[in-house]
Structures are given as structure tokens and as C-alpha cells.
A = this chain, B = another copy of it.
């Protein structure tokens, strides 16, 4: 743990269970290789959906963008305040997009290039190769896009 970070004891049991519904294939096999955020890379990644759920893709091909949820299975879950290496000041987990969080679910908006059976070619991911997939949703600009949203601490930091 880094200076200023705070861990808490986690609850003794889980409240709900997740199924992995597929895997994400990316060019990155070490955490240090991953782009710092998805907009920094235009690498084409592949989302491989399990055959069991193949029929659930019907209509996905009509979407230009998807919201992809995946499970960052290598991250610890007990830090409530953390200091990611590229920021100086420790901040609350819910003010950060760090993989370290009580439920390590990442949410990324991807551009869909194409669908081939149960394989989706997309741009906009930054995760490790083999990352477990937990959901795919159509991205609706009407409800999901807020162009003027501001993360105050981040905007202040950049000035």
C-alpha cells in the first residue's frame, strides 16, 4: 500500500454471483503494457462471447457503440482510499476509475467494428488479454452521453 491509502475489512460473504459470459482478447499481457485509458489506444480488441449466449447478440450488429462490462479479476477489493501511481493525491475509490474497488467491474464504451458469429471486433478497451466479460449493452447517446460532465478533481489537476 502507498502512503495515504486506506483498506477496510470486506464483508464475510458475497451477496450475489456473477457468470463470466466470455473473454476479452487484447494485445496486452502485462498490466504495465495496458494503455492508461482506452482513448489512448486504437488497438482492435476482440470480445469472445460464450456459445451459450450466442443468440443474445441478435441486433447488436446494428449498434455503433456498446457499453462493455468486464471483471478485473486480478485487483484487490479492500481499498477505499487509494493513490494510483500516475496521481499524487490519494482519493476515494468511488472518485476513481481504478480496477481496485469492492466490486471490480469495469465499464468501457467501445466502438463496434464488426460481428463475426460470437466474436465482436471493437476499439476502446484497455484491459489485459483474457479478461472475463460480464455484460454487453447497447450504448444510447440519449441517456449515456453527457458531453459537459466534469470530474472536478481531475480538471483541477490538469491545469
**Interface set of A (CB-CB < 8 Å, partner B):** 6, 8-11, 13-21, 37-39, 49, 52-67, 69, 71, 73, 77, 80-81, 90-97, 101-103, 105, 107-109, 111, 132, 134-154, 156
Contacts and interface: CB of A to CB of B under 8 A. Distances in A.
Nearest to A93: B56
Contacts of A14: 17-19
A15 B14 CA distance: 12
How many copies the complex holds: the figure is 2
B152 A63 contact: yes
A13 to B, nearest CB: 8
A13 B38 CA distance: 32
Instruction: Return the 3 tightest CB-CB contacts between A and B, nearest first.
Output: A62-B152, A14-B17, A59-B95
A146 B65 contact: yes
Contacts of A77: 19
21 contacts: A14-B18, A15-B18, A15-B71, A16-B71, A16-B73, A18-B103, A55-B81, A56-B80, A57-B94, A60-B95, A63-B95, A63-B152, A64-B152, A97-B138, A103-B135, A107-B107, A107-B137, A111-B146, A139-B149, A141-B147, A147-B147
